[in-house]
Amino acid sequence: MSRGAGAGRRRVAIGAGGAVVLLAALDAYVVTTVLVAVVEDLEIPVNRLERVTPVLTGFLLGYVAAMPLLGQLSDRFGRRALLQACLVFFAAGSVVTALAQDVPLLTAGRVVQGVAGGALLPVTMALAGDLWDERRRPVVLGAVGAAQELGSVLGPLYGAAVVALLDDWRLIFWINLPLTALAMAAVHVSVPAGRPSGSGGPGGERPGVDWVGGLLLAAGLALLVGGLYNPEPEESALPPWGLPVVAAGAAVLVLFGLWEARTRTRLLDLSGVRRGPLLATLGVSFLSGAALMVTLVDVVLVAQTLLGKDTVEGALLLTRFLVALPFAAVLGGVLARRVGERWPMAAGMAISAAGYLLIAGWPADLAAASYGPLPRMDVDLVVTGLGLGLVIAPVSSAVLRAVPAARHGVASAAVVVARMMGMLLGISALSAWGFHRFHSLTADLQTPMPFLKPAEQFRRELAAYEEAVRDALRTEYQEIFWITAGLCALGAVLALAAAVRDGAGGGDGETPPAQAVSVPS
């Protein structure tokens, strides 16, 4: 094959990989703007939104838990085989989701989608490591990462557009079937079969897989999410089993950390890396992910529950935030190149903290609130989007600077894992708190009845009841955005500890690197 033909096939292969990454990323965020439509279709009362929380967390849990382990499996069985298998399961999960008539089945479909989708990013990044040398690899990894980021921008808009045009949220998941078929054809044609060259150990044996680490990570996250989910939040923020289950999840994650420190085959090899700055940077990614998910869910809920907007109008309100996000991401990359990663990360998290404080202060008559000629909602959402967007490129750049070039694929995936973990645990914890607060604020409200009273009196009582419910919702949202502002402020402090010296990753006196089998050769 000529050099030009080989380069063309490489571009097609990474283009196919980027497309499947985008497909999975779209489905990670698509539910945020159609949540009310799902609730109405499944006949869930609007005051019992906690019952649909597993639909959000199920996908994220599968995505985060599967990502590191399935990335290693691609080293053992080959990139094409793993991509094809994951696309088949992604299609199967889409079918289950589209056919679901209740929350448990809908959640099961989303979990299957998440597990399959979680492998697509690390496998595609590993594919970039197979096909490009170290000098050109960062640019390709950046393009794959951009596809992942694009999903957070387009996913909510895509979901709202399908519902607006076709009036059926289930079609979002039926559409996945032809898209998945096209992706499988492109992967079959362009991605090399077999294991990547150089992926075997001594004597050519298959590389190991950290099954124990993968299972411990999945179990720990599942226990945390299960402990935070409260189907009956009237009495407390956590269910009766919440504290022991959360404690068990934390203990399992500690055990995961101890295992990773001692085993030879690791999900993410940190030997020879300055761990303090790297973990601080991943902490910034974690906290920015929590803030991102709160915005995607709660801003749309504010629009639909307080402002009376429909699905499309709620998504259009969210576009103020979503448009600012990629614009600031480009700016953050420019600033990181000129002044380093620390200050853009710290500034971005501080700006987003200020933005969430502004959002928490939204008045009751929000539609009429303004800063001079500018609507207040628009300004506050743009400020928040600019802050979170400013963090994206410096976080990725700092992590890549912290590790040797041979581990860039896994390190880039670690940034996404940290952010998705923040999204998963952030929405779980804040939802548990928010739903409990709503029920506690409305516990003494009595729904007015039209019997044995004049019609005018009933209308007055109903109007007073609805206003009291709106006040409770405003208080709930306000407190959630206050907490989110605090998380972003913590992220700004972590960013100041995340400085990485040029040439870092060369070691800090630790033992020589262990076998990093999850990293492409």
Domain 271-506 CATH superfamily: MFS general substrate transporter like domains (1.20.1250.20)
Asked whether 111 and 379 are in contact (CB, 8 A), the reply is: no
Write down the residue that tokens 């967390």 correspond to.
57
- Residue 111 CA to residue 133 CA, distance in Å, equals 35
236 burial (CB, 10 Å; 0-12 / 13-18 / 19+) is: middle
The residue assigned the tokens 């050769």 is: 521
Residue with tokens 């079969």: 193
Report the C-alpha gap between 416 and 491 in whole angstroms.
16
Give the pair of three-digit tokens for residue 207.
Answer: 């590389």
Q: Which helix (H) or strand (E) holds 371?
A: strand 370-371
Distance CA 281, CA 427 (A): 21
Q: Which residue has the tokens 């262990």?
A: 514
pLDDT in tens, the chain (521 residues): 445 556 677 788 888 888 888 888 888 888 888 888 888 888 887 667 778 888 888 898 888 888 777 777 777 777 888 889 999 999 999 999 999 999 999 999 999 999 998 878 878 877 877 777 766 766 777 677 778 778 878 888 898 888 888 889 999 999 999 999 998 998 888 887 766 655 554 445 555 677 888 889 889 989 998 888 888 777 777 888 889 999 999 999 999 988 988 888 777 766 666 778 888 899 999 999 999 999 988 998 898 888 888 878 888 888 899 889 888 888 888 888 888 889 999 999 999 999 999 999 999 888 888 898 999 999 999 999 999 999 988 888 888 777 776 666 667 677 888 888 898 888 888 888 888 888 888 888 888 888 777 888 888 888 888 888 889 989 999 999 999 999 999 999 999 987 654 343 433 333 333 333 333 32
Q: Comparing 1-192 with 271-506, is the CATH topology the same?
A: yes
Q: In whole angstroms, how far apart are CA 491 and each of 214, 261, 284, 286? A: 27, 25, 5, 9
Q: Indicate the domain borders of the chain.
A: 1-192, 211-266, 271-506
Residue pair 302/477 in contact by the 8 Å Cβ criterion = yes
pTM: 0.79
Q: What are phi and psi of 374, to 5 degrees?
A: -100, 130
Q: How far from the centroid of its chain's Cα atoms is residue 422's Cα?
A: 7
- Going by their DSSP bridges, the two strands 374-375 and 370-371 should be labelled as antiparallel
C-alpha distance from residue 520 to each of 8, 76, 132, 317, 340 (Å): 21, 11, 11, 42, 28
Quote the DSSP letter at residue 83: H
CA gap 497, 8 in Å, rounded: 42
According to CATH, the superfamily of the domain at 1-192 is MFS general substrate transporter like domains (1.20.1250.20)
CA-wise closest residue to 489 among 250, 290, 276: 290
